Homo-oligomer: A and B are copies of this chain.
């Protein structure tokens, strides 16, 4: 497996996600896409997960950050609590190529009624990426279900990561396990694992400390959305993440 192009030479990446308006609105802080893109890329973000329309129309604002095209969508009327919902693919690897994008992403919820079809899409997209030389980021997360009563348990996150590796993902995006120290079980799958941020954290320093722990245990970085664009200081948050992810800097509560 060749390394995904958006990973730095240290094999890690700070990714920002701004795809939320297709399933959640309003998104305070994300009204002006060009502005947030310029802020986070200037602050060092390695890649940005975004929709087809955003990548096509705002490419210059990505700067040096690599766009990651999200190929699937769900209902716009999902609501901000993000209940369980079906995701279906709308765009293809061919669309990514036409947009001159080198990485794509789809979303899999393990334990959801839609799991099987999402896994099939994941496997097909992985193969399509290999055909065309793209990188496939598999966002694969357990939800609370019979097999995963605790969706953030170490073994649940490890199961998700290993499944992503078997499916052919080049990079895995999954939930931060609790405790963060346990991420090594997931990292053992052999494919770079980056961690999602989830809802806006009240304790920013605590979140950054978790990232530091996870990176120390082998995680390849983060993919944060609400904790970047929804924070009081998106550029500062990205800079802090870059410091931790790429330089192994210790977090100091500010």
Please list the residues of chain A having a beta carbon within 8 angstroms of any beta carbon in chain B.
1, 19, 21-22, 25-26, 31-33, 51-54, 56-57, 73-79, 86, 88-92, 95, 98, 110-111, 115-117, 119-120, 122-124, 126-127, 130-131, 142, 145-148, 155, 158-160, 162-169, 188, 190-191
Contacts and interface: CB of A to CB of B under 8 A. Distances in A.
A77 B146 contact: yes
Q: Copies per complex?
A: 5
B57 A1 contact: yes
Given A77-B111, A127-B95, A167-B53, A116 B155 contact: no
B52 A127 contact: yes
Interface secondary structure of A, over-half rule: helix
The 7 closest A-B pairs by CB, nearest first: A90-B123, A25-B159, A51-B166, A53-B168, A77-B147, A76-B163, A53-B166
B90 A120 contact: yes
B21 A127 contact: no
Contact of A76 (B90, B110, B130, B190): B110
A224 B164 CA distance: 24
B115 A75 contact: yes
8 contacts: A52-B167, A75-B110, A76-B159, A88-B116, A88-B117, A88-B120, A90-B120, A90-B167
A157 B190 CA distance: 38
Given A26-B158, A51-B167, A78-B147, 20 more contacts: A21-B163, A25-B158, A32-B188, A52-B126, A52-B127, A52-B166, A52-B167, A53-B191, A56-B130, A56-B168, A57-B191, A73-B123, A73-B167, A74-B116, A76-B110, A76-B115, A77-B111, A88-B117, A90-B124, A92-B127
A222 B105 CA distance: 36
Contacts of A169: 53
